[in-house]
Structure 1
């Protein structure tokens, strides 16, 4: 039984104002397009609200992500905690902060995530790469609007 702690920050600049970036997080249909690769998705985007994704692991097992939103400041900040469970076993517990900064006509997004990885079910580099991938999908979503 092992526990590994990790923290990473990712920064992206999008050529749209903060209200558009924030809306892509807040709107359930938009969020599903860039955040969910497959499976069911529910989003209650408010402080105290929850988000859940039910899907499958690459091997076909059950995969579940459940988040609770703790702090939302429109167009400025989103703070949530989440759990990732695979095949019924808790794999990761995380706290994520998303900060949005207006820069000219665009937005600088800074995402900081603090993770607890349990029993080797997930690795820090996998989580950081996956998060980077969905921030790239967010950029494509913002370009297509």
Structure 2
């Protein structure tokens, strides 16, 4: 059996988008809009208590499962959700994420805060932060292409 560990970490990422908070919020709130920059959900119920669930991974690689529950939604202002991330049958992490949408001159400042526990060395806060930055860059491209 491999050694068990739990590493706790918090990271914050800020991005500025040249779109209104309502427009950026909508990219998180609608299943089709979110699928343009985030893996398509098998289940997507955007409401407090609702679930977002998807599975996938690289061809021939492991299957990753994202299972989220929306804890708070304030229209065009804030989304709070908790989620687990599994690789095959192994739990990699459990996190609480807050996404804030602040109006700034000419657009939106998005503030993404993730508080997580990263389990058994299967993932690290640094890897998750890097992947999240890539994801938020994809969001920017999707917004610009609309």
TM-score by length of 1: 0.94
Match of 1:7 in 2: 10
The equivalences for 1:23-38 within 5 A come to 23-36=26-39
Any runs of at least 4 consecutive aligned residues in structure 1 with deviations exceeding 4 A, and if so which? none
The equivalences for 1:71-82 within 5 A come to 71-82=72-83
TM-score by length of 2: 0.93
How far the C-alpha of 1:63 sits from its partner, in A, is 1.3
Gaps of 5+ in 2: none
Computed over aligned residues only, the root mean square deviation of the Cα atoms, in angstroms, reads 1.4
Do 1:57 and 1:86's aligned partners in 2 also have CA atoms closer than 8 Å?
no
* Matched pairs, number: 143
Gaps of 5+ in 1: none
The equivalences for 1:1-145 within 5 A come to 1-36=4-39, 41-56=42-57, 60-145=61-146
Please give the per-residue CA displacement for 1:72-93, whole angstroms capped at 9, x wherever unaligned: 0000000000000112111100
